[in-house]
Structure 1
């Protein structure tokens, strides 16, 4: 252990006795704002929203009254790091019993502890204590038994200041990415108008009238190899690729299937399986200079339009309204190629589509620069956290 540092249990830093029981604090008709695991953004480690209930109608797990500054640590699937500091000063916040709640009055120590509990070291500690196959979780008592290295106050302040600065730089760069996305959407509406109104009077056809759709063939993540046929899995449409891509990141064996479904340069690839309507038909234009194999939970649209224009069109309200008529499912949403073929789309002249695509590519070049900076900053943040906590 470092000189002048000491180990303390989380439970000694923040006792569970400090957390008031919701049913004792609120009457049945009081309106509470409920925080569950889905309220946490586990990428940015922040609280994104709450759900309002009368106390009598609230979920049975709505048990812990929390307040501004409390640290919430999900005890369910701790590997996902659903951890956040409450950033809302409302007096009617109630958290799920699925959280271990830490209340630390000292601001510097609170930030230091927050950084420690989102670190790889603390996550690895919780993972070793996780039990249950279908509902993997740790006990709150185990969380509070965790030994945390506590440096002297000046060192706490130094660590928190360093990590806060890195996180702020990352946040600023991510905001810049959002600004570029907003700019791209504004260019679309400036050039083509709102497709719902079609005030510019573009020709309207269905997807089936301007091209052909086919479903991809079976590919699962377990099929990926280091070298083989380039492929796109539907999950990558949701998590990795944007409006277009020129490179694939995965490969499958050449003899995996007797026949493959292929996307050719310029084709649009759409997800036909998703978690919800919003994710349905999440698309990317394939602009690489080689053919690519596409998996079965995605559709390939062969056409003679500009792929970038089509990809951005699938992000419009007009397209959403139409796909919402067809995308069905409870936990998993599906839409068929036949249903996509029946969706209407405005068709501006190809020259205007190409002009739009050129502008988008310039924006994407700037985004790529920022994304590289974010990756470098995140790598630096991870290394500094490892230095202090490992």
Structure 2
């Protein structure tokens, strides 16, 4: 495996441009670091318009295949140096802002998507940290120094193969995330279809206060617990542990057994209790307590113990997460930058009470969706681990790339993939000049185009697909070395006869004897 400085594979580095605020809706589209996602994808949904001088636009406009690197930003938990891959979604002109720099790859040396993936992996594995410094609260990337660091540089064909593998896994990850999001949307739409707006109560059901649906409503102790620095199995739930309606225990802090008991004097949280954030930027977030887990309440958290004789926990939880309840809670909040609601205000919200059998039917739907979401989440974790493992092995030269075809344009299909060996790809050998001669012999006695030849090369079994330029060079060598057996002609191709705009095209004629 060869290693070269990043600078050596670039034909240009283009500083970003911010320009001026436009006076109207005119201007050029500018990609900010706020448009960077942590998956290396650009979020085009909120790209801003800026007024920039035409000559700067001409010099700095992005082209598909550019890699944009963040040079200012980052945080204590996220290094600066994120990268995104630019692929123009239409025919608009785009620039990047002055917190980023465009890296334009030399396509004769490096495959653009490969450059993106190797720099994305560098950031993912925190290799940009030695190249960052902090000034006035902003973390900056020492870009010149970073671009002098080295990256692995296999052959162009192997770069394409690596990009093919990672793109396929990346597509699977994106599809799995879309599936999870679709389940979340299905849950909300099912709730609305079955119960309607729980505050407006269009169905005319009985109305009650939230407190009437609960056996207990528990507020958290108003002090910060002493956290344990060893695993205890006793989790202390904070607002950051409630994510999209579910408890996430990846970074949940733990306490010792004495603290756990002390914080749960009034009630030990149990299966299907509801934890709720009543203060801070995550105000209104709620989640059900899962089975077989020991938790206590951190600050800013309250708990609802639902009376299952009149309401299911699933209905109560989905109601709290409904748009109308969320709006109501936000309207009740005070505190400005640190919004909070009083427990008394929350428990006195008036809502509908649908028939219990209907709630129980909804609870069954929730359990099915939970089961699917758990499976999809497990699959997502496995795919993300696979992506990391494949990246590491690919950039160390530890993958047998002979099993991966060179694909320039492809549609990613959702394949069952647990490793490179499971891609169902057969071993292929190099396409040689002799293979080219054998193909040309098939056309002996008639005229054919390069495109016809190129398409047939793509269908050859057990052959690695060569670079298009490589085949063109081989044809030139063949023309120069042939003794009249192979020649270039200018003819109207048979495939064009029916076209009204037919004109003579460069074509070839083989005279080989079979």
Report the TM-score when normalising by structure 1: 0.82
Structure-2 separation of matches of 1:112 and 1:236: 36
2:153 to 136, 150, 153: 150
* Number of the residue aligned with 1:74: 70
1:236 equivalent in alignment to 2:233 = no
Deviations 1:75-105 (A, max 9, x none): 2226266432234445453423222322236
* Number of the residue aligned with 1:60: none
* Number of the residue aligned with 2:100: 99
Paired residue total? 373
Structure-1 separation of matches of 2:143 and 2:19: 20
Shift of 1:113: 0.8
Structure-2 separation of matches of 1:385 and 1:202: 56
Shift of 1:171: 1.8
Q: Structure 1 residues 147-156 or 100-109, which shifts more?
A: 100-109
TM alignment of 1:92-131, pairs within 5 A: 92-104=93-105, 106=107, 109-120=111-122, 123-131=125-133
Structure-1 separation of matches of 2:156 and 2:168: 18
Structure-2 separation of matches of 1:314 and 1:19: 47
Structure-1 separation of matches of 2:325 and 2:28: 36
1:7 equivalent in alignment to 2:4 = yes
Q: Structure 1 residues 376-385 or 289-298, which shifts more?
A: 289-298
Q: Structure 1 residues 169-178 or 327-336, which shifts more?
A: 327-336
- CA gap of 1:28–1:230, structure 2 versus 1, over 3 A, is closer
Deviations 1:26-69 (A, max 9, x none): 98764343432222221x2212233434539xxxxxx9754544
* Number of the residue aligned with 1:170: 173
Aligned residues of 1:214 and 1:337 also touching (Cα < 8 A): no
Shift of 1:319: 0.9
Shift of 1:351: 2.7
2:219 to 207, 215, 222: 215
- CA gap of 1:329–1:389, structure 2 versus 1, over 3 A, is farther
Structure-1 separation of matches of 2:151 and 2:209: 60
- CA gap of 1:94–1:284, structure 2 versus 1, over 3 A, is same
**Structure 1 residue matching 2:283: 3-state secondary structure:** coil
Larger radius of gyration: 2
Aligned residues of 2:63 and 2:86 also touching (Cα < 8 A): yes
Shift of 1:156: 0.7
* Number of the residue aligned with 1:186: 189
- CA gap of 1:152–1:266, structure 2 versus 1, over 3 A, is closer
- CA gap of 1:225–1:297, structure 2 versus 1, over 3 A, is farther
- CA gap of 1:254–1:266, structure 2 versus 1, over 3 A, is same
- Unaligned segments of structure 2, at least 5 residues: 53-58, 397-514
**Structure 1 residue matching 2:303: 3-state secondary structure:** strand
TM alignment of 1:178-327, pairs within 5 A: 178-195=181-198, 197-211=200-214, 212-217=216-221, 218-219=223-224, 222-223=227-228, 225-238=230-243, 242-243=245-246, 251-256=254-259, 259-261=262-264, 262-275=268-281, 279-288=282-291, 292-304=295-307, 305-327=311-333
Structure-2 separation of matches of 1:169 and 1:221: 41
**Structure 2 residue matching 1:293: 3-state secondary structure:** strand
**Structure 1 residue matching 2:364: 3-state secondary structure:** helix
- CA gap of 1:166–1:179, structure 2 versus 1, over 3 A, is same
- Unaligned segments of structure 1, at least 5 residues: 57-62
Structure-2 separation of matches of 1:370 and 1:295: 29
Deviations 1:227-248 (A, max 9, x none): 153432221103xx74479999
* Number of the residue aligned with 2:350: 344
Shift of 1:376: 1.4
- CA gap of 1:341–1:225, structure 2 versus 1, over 3 A, is farther
1:369 to 375, 392, 395: 375
Aligned residues of 1:229 and 1:293 also touching (Cα < 8 A): yes
1:356 to 333, 337, 362: 362
Q: Structure 1 residues 177-186 or 332-341, which shifts more?
A: 332-341
Report the TM-score when normalising by structure 2: 0.64
- CA gap of 1:255–1:137, structure 2 versus 1, over 3 A, is farther
Structure-2 separation of matches of 1:245 and 1:54: 40
Two-structure CA RMSD over aligned residues (Å): 3.4
Structure-2 separation of matches of 1:350 and 1:247: 35
Shift of 1:181: 2.2
- CA gap of 1:160–1:295, structure 2 versus 1, over 3 A, is same
